[in-house]
Structure 1
Amino acid sequence: MADERTPLLSVQHLCKEFPVESGVFGKRFSKKSVHAVNDVSFDIYEGETFGLVGESGCGKSTTGRCIMHLTRPTSGTVLFEGKDVSKMSKKELKEMRRHMQFIFQDPYASLNPRMTIGEIVSEPLIIHNVMPDAKEREKYVRELLDVVGLNPEHINRYPHEFSGGQRQRVGIARAFALKPKLIICDEPVSALDVSIQAQVLNLLNDLQKEYGTAYLFIAHDLSVVQHISDNIGVMYLGNMMEYADWKALYDRPYHPYTQSLLSAVPVPDPDVQATRKRIVLAGDPPSPIDAPSGCCFHTRCPMACEKCSRERPELREVEPGHFCACHFAAPNPIKESSIEL
């Protein structure tokens, strides 16, 4: 049964190619393209979190940047509140970005070292002319710092005086300054210690409940995504392989790639962990410049056959609300005979 709600963000058949020229000593031999994002579609609804997972280099961050229009897509449509982002004027893009913000992966590189914490958090307010009065703005920034778990008295300190976790809290405060409807979180906890990761994830959950903000949460750690997401999409080599609500995806993965990823997630119970079998994929991910024909996963899939190398599987609905791009989509498709200990 299709969701009858209107999505806050609708990504339809999004593609992004980067041209690559090969050659030596100034001579060009060939011109190819990297298909960083290849026909990706999904929806995000108000107040919900969509988790986007996959290996490094699979196109997750490029997808986020294309949605924000920091990178111009090659083709496809991004609709934010029903409006096509690619057809917006500069003025409309600026207004759109007031309601769509970004939390970057690296808390060390994403903050200007020459600006104080107060200046960093208040910058979006100044750019969008939301709070012209300086005293009112400073009071609001202090309140924001308190909300994200920082000492408001540190408003005049510089980024180098804070730890990685504290800097990421500054980035979160900056993203929430305009009270946006959607925040794209690009691996916001991957550079942090595990204990700090939990604190930041709990903070994001609390802020979502308070402000009703939707998240696109990009990560490569499935256990992190499970903690925060309502729906999850799994990407591989620029393609969306599976897409479902988090419980259906974790309980009944239909794609062999999703099943192999889940087998690598540790379980906190040592007795259960001791009896689990790990699915080890053969080889390394292929180069995105020379992507395999047919199904992009067939070179590593233990179930692949000749059809997989010829025909690209369509992302189809295998259960209500559960989509999978596999010719042999079935619950936990890789059987024990194919699993290595």
Structure 2
Amino acid sequence: MAKNHQEALLKVEHLSKEFPAGSGVFGGRFSKNVVSAVSDVSFEIYPGETFGLVGESGCGKSTTGRTIMRLNRPTAGKVFFEGRDVASMNKADLKAMRREMQFIFQDPYASLNPRMTIGEIVSEPMTIHKIGTREERMERVRELLDLVGLNPEHINRYPHEFSGGQRQRVGIARAFSLRPKLIICDEPVSALDVSIQAQVLNLLKELQERFGTAYLFIAHDLSVVQHISDRVAVMYLGKMVELSDWKRLYAQPSHPYTQSLLSAVPVPDPDIQRDRRRIILAGDPPSPINPPSGCRFHTRCPIAQEICSKEAPEFKETSPGHFCACHFSEPFPIKETHIDL
């Protein structure tokens, strides 16, 4: 379905990714275990849009991003970038695709080569794609460093001479060096101090407005996603459970998992915060090696009924532009009577 009659820049259809997890004898039979990291995920991203992907650690968010980029090969499903199937691309096609799709990594310390100068790190994508002469690339690096709020004179310094926030700015400059159409931001602020997070988010928004770049913004913090995303999808144990524009998702969550996540987001008004009820989920997320039958969330859901353990709910449109996978989908499905006060 086109947004504002635009063609999707990225289209993900029923994407799944499994990883081998050893083998053993179960029930008298020898079998190989697999981790179902991503299961039947579908969404679209349009030019210039920020699509937020949220969920707790281990739900498959980062694996989704890496599989889209084909750093991991998908087990099933399709990924189309500008109408071309990423999974069937050869090396030459992949190289051309990655010029238009870049990655910002979570860890600003591990993602920069400590033996390379800042100039070499930021210019590396241009070197790989044979863009310009060395002098032209260095001039472009100085422009990028200035653009992300770093001193262009520090071009010959090494990563260890910079703070975490400055290193992440270097990673952002590197991602923008080829002026890509889509950047996958894999928790780009989670390793930074809260005061620095706002600066980096504002920088990403400024660069998006300047270049029209689309973002897949992966995070576990709903309050961070709220300030940068146009639409937000929520994942649980490898599956997408809700998708909507951010205003409707935050105003009227229709999946109990989304509602429980939002109940943990602080509200700046102390009177409202004092009267809010926090929804504490029972237990821990199940193992992705052996996910529950039916709805994967039913083992922790306060409103689960018998059907939830037997039938997986369909991920369907419950109102225009709002999708949910729950047998009892409605605004704020967890009522106060369901909360253990």
* TM-score bracket for this pair, using the shorter chain length: over 0.9
- Contact 2:24-2:32 at 8 Å conserved across structures: no
* Residue in structure 2 matched with residue 330 of structure 1 by the alignment: 330
* Residue in structure 2 matched with residue 231 of structure 1 by the alignment: 231
How many aligned residue pairs are there?
337
* Residue in structure 1 matched with residue 9 of structure 2 by the alignment: 8
Q: Secondary structure at the match of 1:228?
A: coil
* Residue in structure 2 matched with residue 124 of structure 1 by the alignment: 125
- Contact 1:2-1:321 at 8 Å conserved across structures: no
After superposition, residues 205-220 of structure 1 pair within 5 angstroms as 205-220=205-220
Tell whether 2:144 aligns with 1:158. Answer: no
Structure 2: which 5+ runs fail to align? Answer: none
* Residue in structure 2 matched with residue 49 of structure 1 by the alignment: 50
- Contact 1:104-1:171 at 8 Å conserved across structures: yes
**In structure 1, distance between residues paired with 2:315 and 2:300:** 19
**1:149 positional shift:** 0.5
After superposition, residues 57-206 of structure 1 pair within 5 angstroms as 57-131=58-132, 133-206=133-206
After superposition, residues 189-338 of structure 1 pair within 5 angstroms as 189-338=189-338
**In structure 1, distance between residues paired with 2:139 and 2:131:** 14
- Contact 1:103-1:184 at 8 Å conserved across structures: yes
**In structure 2, distance between residues paired with 1:7 and 1:47:** 10
**In structure 1, distance between residues paired with 2:72 and 2:205:** 28
- Kindly provide the amino acid, as one letter, of the partner of residue 120 in structure 2: E
Q: What does the per-residue CA deviation read over 1:51-86, in whole Å, with 9 as the maximum and x for residues that have no partner?
A: 000010000000000000000000100000011001
C-alpha RMSD of matched pairs (Å): 1.3
Please identify runs of 4+ aligned residues in structure 1 that moved more than 6 A.
none
Q: What does the per-residue CA deviation read over 1:98-154, in whole Å, with 9 as the maximum and x for residues that have no partner?
A: 0000000000000000000000000000100112x1222111100100000000010
Q: Secondary structure at the match of 1:289?
A: coil
- Kindly provide the amino acid, as one letter, of the partner of residue 339 in structure 2: I
- Contact 2:302-2:339 at 8 Å conserved across structures: no
**In structure 2, distance between residues paired with 1:246 and 1:239:** 19
**1:29 positional shift:** 5.8
- Kindly provide the amino acid, as one letter, of the partner of residue 9 in structure 2: L
- Contact 1:145-1:170 at 8 Å conserved across structures: yes
Q: Secondary structure at the match of 2:240?
A: strand
- Kindly provide the amino acid, as one letter, of the partner of residue 120 in structure 1: I
- Contact 1:116-1:157 at 8 Å conserved across structures: yes
**In structure 2, distance between residues paired with 1:112 and 1:5:** 39
Residues 65, 153 of structure 1: alpha-carbon distance in 2 compared, 3 angstrom cutoff: same
Q: Secondary structure at the match of 1:20?
A: strand
**In structure 1, distance between residues paired with 2:65 and 2:2:** 25
Q: Secondary structure at the match of 1:11?
A: strand
- Kindly provide the amino acid, as one letter, of the partner of residue 110 in structure 2: A
- Contact 2:15-2:77 at 8 Å conserved across structures: yes
**1:191 positional shift:** 0.2
Structure 1: which 5+ runs fail to align? Answer: none
- Contact 1:49-1:217 at 8 Å conserved across structures: yes
- Kindly provide the amino acid, as one letter, of the partner of residue 331 in structure 2: P
Residues 2, 80 of structure 1: alpha-carbon distance in 2 compared, 3 angstrom cutoff: closer
**1:2 positional shift:** 6.1
TM-score of the two chains, using structure 2 as the length reference: 0.97
**1:19 positional shift:** 1.4
The percent identity for this pair of structures is 75
Q: Secondary structure at the match of 2:281?
A: coil
- Kindly provide the amino acid, as one letter, of the partner of residue 286 in structure 2: P
- Contact 1:255-1:326 at 8 Å conserved across structures: yes
- Contact 1:234-1:242 at 8 Å conserved across structures: yes
Q: What does the per-residue CA deviation read over 1:193-217, in whole Å, with 9 as the maximum and x for residues that have no partner?
A: 0000000000000000000000000
- Contact 2:131-2:137 at 8 Å conserved across structures: no
- Kindly provide the amino acid, as one letter, of the partner of residue 131 in structure 2: V
**In structure 2, distance between residues paired with 1:340 and 1:181:** 47
**In structure 1, distance between residues paired with 2:235 and 2:241:** 6
Q: Secondary structure at the match of 2:17?
A: strand
